[in-house]
Amino acid sequence: MRNVFALAVLSVFAFCSAMLADQIVLKNGDRISGTIVKSDGKTLLMKTDFAGDVTVQWTAIEQINSSASLHVSLANGQTVVGPVSTTDDSLAVTTPSQGKVTEPRAQVTTLRNDAEWTSYEKSLHPPLTQGWAGGANVGFALTRGNSQTKNLALAFTADRKTTHDLIALYANSVYAANDAPGAVPATTANAIQGGIRYDHDLTERLFAYVGADFQTDDLQALNLRSVLGGGLGYHAIKSDRTTLDFLGGLNYTRENYTTFNRNFAALSLGEEFTHKVGMSTLITQKFYMFPDLNDLSQYRGTFNFGTITKFSKWLGWQNAFGDIYVTNPPAGKKLNDIIFTTGLNVTLTH
């Protein structure tokens, strides 16, 4: 009698658990019970007691019934919240304020449970101190004896991406000196480049940007070049592995050389490309032209190319190449300035 009672209690408990669980029915007749976590309209993720996380193709699902509320986002931008059920090709959400809202399943873009919805909302407006990813590499060389030289090369990149905007930082620096007595010039390189840019998506493809770039170069007699500008960009390619953006806008340039100053407005025309090769290497490339609006025959051009190959989660090898071409440098100075740095890369994330 005691065994019969225990069996009855277990049966009631199992029945109640099944009633409280979410359930999906596949087109082949299989049933899966558990907790619906999320769906992106392509797959649906369920957490089950015995099989762990189970991912099911959205097109393979015949019916959905949730005991808990789900946040259902629709193609028209509306989000409705409540327990979900399906009938034929329609999905019904029983909301506390609007009653039952029924929409075609084809109009459903995402499903999220309460925990996933909270995480999603945080990702839309994360604190400025979070979400950063980047890396830095440092190279140093020193010789003594028959030669007496030293050089230091630094490169740094970091960006913070959200679903709608991007903040990007960069810096490159090369310093080299010949310490031999009477060497001329004693400083053989001393150039620093750095900048910041903010992008904000206006549509899925179109975005607006503002940015600032700064450069000094002792051997070109450039004390400081400041470039402040902004404009519009277009995401020609935007995938997990490859991006290609075209940008156009205006900038205001201030150049302070040792012998003179120069201020002018200019166009900003450029493209940026990234591509992930395999699982460990990222290639980046940028090309820009800045024609002087007062005299379009005078311009500045920049080309940057870099690679980062990961050895581990935090360590890799970084190469950074930059070329700046100026049509009207000070008298006696070269048109091109090239910076190349290479070395171990330490990944920084926060």
% of residues, the chain, pLDDT over 90: 50
Q: Where are the beta strands (DSSP E) in 202-335?
A: 206-217, 222-238, 242-257, 261-277, 281-292, 295-310, 315-326
Tally helices (H) and strands (E) across the chain: 2, 23
Structure-block tokens of residue 218: 């002792």
Q: Would you say residue 12 has pLDDT above 50? A: no
pLDDT at residue 4 is higher than 60 = no
Listed by start position, the domains of the chain span 20-124, 132-349
Contact 193, 175 (CB under 8 A): no
For residues 345 and 58, give the distance between their C-alpha atoms in angstroms, rounded to a whole number.
Answer: 41
Q: 163 or 82: whose pLDDT is higher?
A: 82
Percent of the chain exceeding pLDDT 70 equals 94
* Calpha distance 296→125 (Å, rounded): 42
Mean pLDDT over 60-79 rounds to: 91
Mean pLDDT, the chain, whole residue set: 87
- Residue 2: pLDDT above 60? no
| Residue predicted with more confidence, 164 or 299 | 299
What pLDDT is stored for residue 302 in this prediction?
A: 94
* Number of residues in the chain: 350
Residue 21 pLDDT: 83
Specify the amino acid at residue 298: Q
Q: Hey, what CATH topology would domain 132-349 get?
A: Outer membrane phospholipase (ompla); Chain C (2.40.230)
Q: What is this structure's pTM? A: 0.69
How do residues 120-149 score in pLDDT, each as one tens digit? 887 777 778 888 888 888 888 888 887 888
**Is 349's pLDDT higher than 80?**
no
Q: Does the pLDDT of residue 10 top 70, yes or no?
A: no
Cα separation, 304 vs 215, whole angstroms: 14
